[in-house]
Amino acid sequence: MRFIILAVVGLGTIIVDQLTKIHIMQTMRLHESIPIIQNFFSLTYIRNPGAAFGILASSGTLFRLVFFGVMSLFALGLLLTIFLRLPQEDWLGQLFISGILGGAVGNLLDRLRFGEVIDFLDFYIDAYHWPAFNVADAAISVGVCFLVVHFAFEKKEPDSALQQDHS
């Protein structure tokens, strides 16, 4: 069951992410902005060579390629390890990690193809903008938030060694 969750959620996230980015690239000019909800939300086509919030955007191309490549591979390995170590019955944890994995792969594909990430979801209030992001970023952010809450409230089985000491 766990690999069905991974395939559906992870691949679904990658497909939706890549299709939305392709649509934006084909229908909008770079830096074009289309207001959807006045003074709150626009579709704005930008390319982010850096990490979240443009961190490392001004670094050299080779440095970014190596840094983000190594970090992405490390993150994917870590996420897969966590995914495989989750109990079979922890379908919520599997769901959240699958979304995070799908988002990470979606942005990695952009970096490999373009050397930067395509962003287009632009939320703001008047002149105060949240940095633009994409479907992959949303999947990662939502997945991490829900995963933290999930692990924080997860019921732990008492350790059998501790129970024997107190018997």
According to the 3-state scheme, what is the secondary structure of 33-54? Answer: EEEEECCCEEEEEEEECCCHHH
What is the pTM (predicted TM-score) of this model?
A: 0.83
Average pLDDT over residues 96-118: 93
d(CA 162, CA 167): 9
Give one DSSP letter per residue of 132-155, joined into a string.
PB-HHHHHHHHHHHHHHHHHHTPP
pLDDT of residue 64: 67
pLDDT tens digits, 10-19:
999 999 999 9
pLDDT of residue 65: 73
Contact 92, 122 (CB under 8 A): no
Would you say residue 54 has pLDDT above 80? no
DSSP designation for 86: S
Q: Which residues are catalytic?
A: 119, 137
Residue that wins the pLDDT comparison between 110 and 158: 110
Question: Given pLDDT bands bounded at 50, 70 and 90, which one contains residue 53?
Answer: low
Q: Which of 146, 127, 115, 1 is nearest to 48 (CA)?
A: 115
Would you say residue 166 has pLDDT above 60? no
Would you say residue 147 has pLDDT above 60? yes
pLDDT of residue 46: 96
